[in-house]
Chains A and B, each alone.
Chain A
Amino acid sequence: MFHREAGVFKTTYASDMALYPLPIAKWTMVALAVLFAIVLPASLEEYYLSILNLIFIAVVGALGLNILVGYTGQISLGHGAFMSVGAYTAANLAVRLGLPFWLTLPAGGLMAAFIGALVGIPSLRIKGLYLAIATLAGQLIIEWTINHVPAISGGAQASIQVPRPDLFGFVLNTQSRLYYFLLFFAALAIVATLNLMRSRIGRAFIAVRDQDIAAEIIGIDIFRYKLLSFAVSSFYAGVTGVLYTYYLGIANYEQFQLGVSIDFLAMIIIGGLGSVLGSIFGAIFVTLLPIVIRTLMENVGSLFFSDSELANVVSGTRLAVFGGLIIFFLVIEPEGLNRLWRNVRSYFRVWPFSY
């Protein structure tokens, strides 16, 4: 990741696909691991850790959506709802049956995967815009169902209080304790995605994306892989929803509305479609953006606006900057932050002798 190689000496496909392109890459991984596991939690305050926690959650969701949109070429405007499926499944299991997180988490993911595959069924016959609208319908119908069926939503205000997860009696009730919990799942999601994309399934996904009819002709069962992609992607979304629920201590459908689906799409577009690193960049960027804007507006904006206007202005600016960035990246840099990062890297790769 941060290394410079002296020439490319790859002679086999296996070495080309390796997670560590060079032995030195292992050391940068170790350095990153030390940074995230020891240095950051020891040096940052609770507030900054809570932001990092949000980023970890977003990374899981962005990776999942990128599997579907970036790697398989489908589209989903329903990921917010898939997250809520995971969140409410886990919340109900945790509250009613008192199950621990290591059961509710996969259960939430599997339930979301099932619903996601169900919503993905039309993907065999329709694509592009029609699929976008079908998944949009999925989002609205799931939202409505959760909101109107008290058995799922827990009645008043459609929210369920969830006890904090505990690990062998060690309750994860502070940001720094949650930090390792969420870091673990973010890292797991990254490694799982990297490996999935190196496998037969990942290659099939990419073939479907590039030209699905051609993929079918060379023997890829596109219906199966499209559904699988929806299921895997929704599994990630479900897990994201569960993590978010444990992070907040409450499952609430308002946290998973259409805007969330769009936020996650923005993450992978700003970060870079079809790239693991891009998903991570996008998750960081989109999570930090509102925080930066709010801080900035609270300090600078008070010079121009009265306090009562400021709240309006802050949320408005967030939306406008957010939309503007999506358009900017789509028009100017379609491959997103990942491409910018690669440009920087390839510049320094031969630096200072760039000729």
Chain B
Amino acid sequence: MSEDLGFFIALLLNGVSIGLMYSLIALGFVLVYKSTDAINFAQGEFVMMAALFGAVVVGFNVSPIVGAIAAVVVVLAIMIGFGFALERVVLRPLLGRPIVAVIMATIGLASVLRGLTPIVFGGETRALPLPIPDDPVVIGPATLPPIQVLGAGVAILLFLGFNWFFKKSRMGVAMRAVADNQQVAQAMGINVERYFALAWAMAGIVSALGGIVWGSMLGVDVQIAVVGLKVFPVVILGGLDSIGGAMVGGLIVGLVESLASGYLDPYVGGGTKDFAPYLLMILVLMLRPYGIFGKRQIERV
């Protein structure tokens, strides 16, 4: 029996670390939705873009540590700039338009990024090596790839950082005010448009780090954008406007995936990993339509 227990714990730890990496990506989605009510269906493509630029910078073959630091700096700069530009050019004209419009605009954006990538960068898969040890990390019965541990660590750090930002810093409080009620925030002298841009830039930061970690784990090509599809169960389970929810949602999705693929795959012939989180999500939508931590919207005619 102890072997079974070991298998279970291994799946559990694997699920937790992968789940934290999912919440890393979901964080970008939640940050944008929380403060601007806009929906980013291109989150996976953001991650892909960040990973690609990271791979290009690392590809210059300076010493590994300098290369990694340079990659992080360059990718952060590019993604923040991209976030700002995107908000200004695409999202701002769509303010106040039906939600379908914003969804489709970001789907269109995803399509553009996916289309341009093979033209600009070529179709081959690139490696994104980071200066971390190759030996798997052994925790009890589980062996985890070091990159997963790093990813989980980055996710936790970002989570703590954003938590502090929204609770304590002046900008974070202003951002919450904007999210709560745009008109009142404007009346209080908050520059709403600037905070919208800031939200997208923060999504850029999260995607940059997420892209480097995921790119390093999976290798960088267009396929990495598929990770973006995992964001939806994560954010729905946690609730769209809750940062803590994104973490919990990520953990749930990671655990469900890991356990489903560990225990169910032998019976149904694989692929439950891609399917189980969505099934769970549908169930949650039926029972608690606004997620576990999301706030219920009250509508008036």
Residues of A at the B interface (CB closer than 8 Å) are 69, 73, 75, 121-122, 125-130, 132-134, 136-138, 140-141, 144, 147-148, 211, 213-214, 217, 262, 265-266, 269, 273, 312-313, 315-327, 330-331, 334
By a CB distance below 8 angstroms, the chain A residues around B101 are 269, 330, 334
Q: Could you tell me if B285 and A326 are in contact, using CB atoms closer than 8 angstroms?
A: no
Task: Note all chain A residues with C-beta closer than 8 A to B236.
Answer: 130, 133
CA distance A315 to B103 in the complex (A): 23
By the criterion CB–CB under 8 Å, are B301 and A211 in contact? Answer: yes
Contact B289 A69 (CB under 8 A): no
Cβ contact of A141, chosen from B105, B108, B268, B278, cutoff 8 A: B278
Which residue of B has the minimal Cβ distance to A320?
B115
Chain B, residues 267-299, CB within 8 Å of chain A (1/0): the string is 011010011001101100110011000000001
Distance, CA A69 to CA B107, complexed state (A): 16
Contacts of A127 in B (CB 8 A): 99
Contact check, A129 vs B240: say whether CB atoms are below 8 A apart. Answer: yes
Q: Tell me the nearest residue of chain A to B93, going by C-beta.
A: A331
CB distance from B290 to the nearest CB of A (A): 7
Q: Which residue of B lies closest to A147 (CB)?
A: B271
On B, residues with C-beta under 8 Å from A are 33, 39, 90, 93-94, 97-101, 103-105, 107-119, 122-123, 229, 232-233, 236, 240, 268-269, 271, 274-275, 278-279, 281-282, 285-286, 289-290, 299, 301
Cβ–Cβ contact A326 & B111, under 8 A: yes
Bound-state Cα–Cα, A326 to B117, Å? 18
13 residue pairs bridging A and B, Cβ less than 8 Å apart = A122-B289, A128-B99, A137-B233, A140-B278, A144-B271, A217-B301, A312-B118, A316-B117, A316-B119, A322-B108, A324-B112, A330-B104, A330-B108
Q: B108 contacts A327, CB within 8 Å?
A: yes
Distance A290 CA – B286 CA, assembled complex (angstroms): 39
A residues in contact with B123, CB < 8 Å: 312
Q: What chain B residues lie within 8 Å of A147 (beta carbons)?
A: 271
Contact check, B301 vs A327: say whether CB atoms are below 8 A apart. Answer: no
Of the candidates B107, B118, B274, the one whose C-beta lies within 8 Å of that of A326 is: B107
Separation in Å of the A321 CB from the closest CB of chain B?
Answer: 7
Q: In the complex, A137→B118 CA distance in Å?
A: 28
- With contacts A213-B299, A334-B101 taken as known, whether A130 is within 8 angstroms of B290 at the C-beta atoms is yes
Q: A122-B285, A130-B289, A141-B279 are in contact. Are A316 and B118 (CB under 8 A)?
A: yes
Q: Which chain A positions have C-beta within 8 A of B282? A: 122, 134, 137-138, 141
Q: How far is the CA of A318 from the CA of B105 in the complex (A)?
A: 16
Interchain CB contact (< 8 A) of B286 among A122, A144, A266, A324: A122
Whether A319 contacts B99 by the Cβ 8 Å rule is no
Inter-chain contact A324/B285, CB cutoff 8 Å: no
The smallest C-beta distance from A125 to any residue of chain B, in angstroms, reads 4
Name the distance in Å between A279's Cβ and chain B's nearest Cβ: 15
In the complex the two chains form, what is the Cα distance from A306 to B265 in whole Å? 43
Contacting residues, chain B, for A317 (C-beta < 8 A): 115, 119
What residues of A have a CB within 8 angstroms of the CB of B114 in the complex? Answer: 316, 319-320, 323
Interface centre among B108, B112, B232 (most CB of A within 10 A): B108
Are B281 and A320 within 8 A (Cβ)? no
A213–B103 touching, CB < 8 Å: no
Interface centre among B94, B104, B282, by most chain A C-beta atoms within 10 angstroms, is: B104
The minimal Cβ–Cβ distance linking B44 to chain A, given in whole angstroms, is 12
Q: Which residues of A contact B33 (CB under 8 A)?
A: 129
Residue of B nearest to A214 (CB): B301
CB distance from B79 to the nearest CB of A (A): 19
- Give chain A residues whose Cβ lies under 8 Å from the Cβ of B90: 327, 331
Complex contact A323–B110 (CB within 8 A): yes
Are A319 and B111 neighbours in the complex by a CB distance under 8 Å? yes
CA separation between A320 and B98, bound complex, in Å? 24
Closest chain-A Cβ to B301's Cβ sits at a distance in Å of 5
Q: What residues of chain B lie closer than 8 Å to A312, measured between beta carbons?
A: 118-119, 122-123
